[in-house]
Amino acid sequence: MRTAVGRVRPAGVCLRGFFVSMRVSSIEDSRFKADSPRRIEEGEDRAMRAAIRLARRGFGTTHPNPRVGAVLLREGGIVGEGFHARAGEAHAEARALAAAGSRARGSTLVATLEPCAHHGRTPPCADAIVSAGVRRVVLGMRDPNPLVNGRGVARLRAAGIEVVEDVRGAECRELNRPYLKHLATGLPWVMLKSMISLDGRVAADSGDSRGLGGGSEQRLCHRLRAEHDAVLVGIGTVLADDPELTVRLVRGRSPVRVVLDTDLRTPAGSRLVMTAGSVPLAVATASEDRARIEALERRGVSIWRFARSPEGRVPIRRVLSRLAAEGRLSILVEGGPTVHSAFLSEGLADRVAIGIAPLILGGSKTPGWTRDLGRKGVGDAIEVGPLVMRRVGRDLWVEGALGASEAGRV
């Protein structure tokens, strides 16, 4: 079984009705096309695109396993296809082989990731491919998991199967940024998300922020929650907005909810606590107040206690390590500004996503979506890009990756 250490759609995968996409700067599609080699047939390239689409159906459900899609071709037509839905269930290759049955013999398997060659909770896919009589395998990328990493390819070639590698490799790697980051660093992949006004504010001076994003943007945000393994906020957001942080406006699973709450101020009557029995809630704290801890635990809240960081707060890196140990490899951070700034300052964020409402709030009390990052000049700024801009109903949605020097530092 493919697995990272531990246990249990990018924005836009299923949102065709919500936005028009506008690509800015050096956009990844051009890189992806250049990555495709010429030694494959046109039908195999189309099949890889289909396998990538299949793999995306596993967003939000496969953790801690990678997202994988597979397609079987025979005589120019698709005879089987599959994707990995969740850990412990059949892998994409096994599903495709089962769908094809006897037609798999003499076929070409197109898969986004190298097949496993070891026994886990499921049998080795490489052995199943050999037994089915597949003659050729086209792969998007090797699996860097030490349990796999070339062993699947070696098993196939030892059986006389032709293997072609690195077909649309950049796209296949993009499918599994959380999985790849965790293998490389031991930490989850992190997206910072905020909704702001046209003048850059996260709320009015009264503190009111509800309705800042339009209906389409709200649905997109709920889709993002469904696609991540955990959603995280700070205690300031809990006290100001009383959020529920569940998935309600689209179909999907609600992720684990995490609150950074150094002094354990999360109200027992908050919507987060009141729903802890149905959707997991973890509160990360440095408090030793046994009465408060026990009161929240009785309501189904998991209390994660940490020693204070040198800054006197809950240590974010240790919280992320705890999430990774539980198989939560993609984290959506919804704020607020203090939490966003802490992630940026510590180099723990990988991507930012900002919704911009066509509203000018004015005022002088409410900050932007970050606070002071200690960067005094333009030359000290954090670089973000390539950028992707989308029209989401009335709003504008902007996403971009953080520069390599700012993200994923260990």
pLDDT digits 0-9 by tens, 357-407: 999 999 888 889 999 898 988 988 999 989 999 999 999 999 999 975 455
Cα separation, 225 vs 331, in Å, equals 9
- For residue range 276-302, list pLDDT tens digits in order: 999 999 999 999 999 999 999 999 999
Amino acid at 349: A
pLDDT tens per residue, range 326-368? 999 999 999 899 999 999 999 999 999 999 999 999 988 888 9
Over the stretch 112-156, which tens digit does the pLDDT of each residue have? 999 999 887 788 999 999 999 999 999 999 999 999 999 999 999
The one-character DSSP state at 389 is E
Q: List the one residue out of 338, 106, 126, 373 whose CA is nearest residue 237.
A: 338
Q: Is 365 helix (H, G, I), strand (E, B) or coil?
A: coil
Contact 167, 41 (CB under 8 A): no
Catalytic residues: 93
* Confidence class for position 12, pLDDT limits 50, 70, 90: very low
The domain ranges of the chain are 36-176, 186-402
Mean pLDDT throughout 167-177? 95
Question: Per residue in 63-88, pLDDT tens?
Answer: 899 999 999 999 989 999 999 998 88
Distances (CA, A) of 374 to 200, 224, 333: 19, 30, 21
Give the Cβ contact number of residue 228 at 10 Å.
25
Report the first-to-last Cα separation within the chain, whole angstroms. 27
Q: Classify domain 36-176 by CATH number.
A: 3.40.140.10
Look at residue 34 and tell me whether its pLDDT is greater than 90.
no
CATH topology of domain 186-402: Dihydrofolate Reductase, subunit A (3.40.430)
- What residues contact residue 292 under an 8 Å CB cut-off, 6+ apart? 264
pLDDT over 70 (residue 29): no
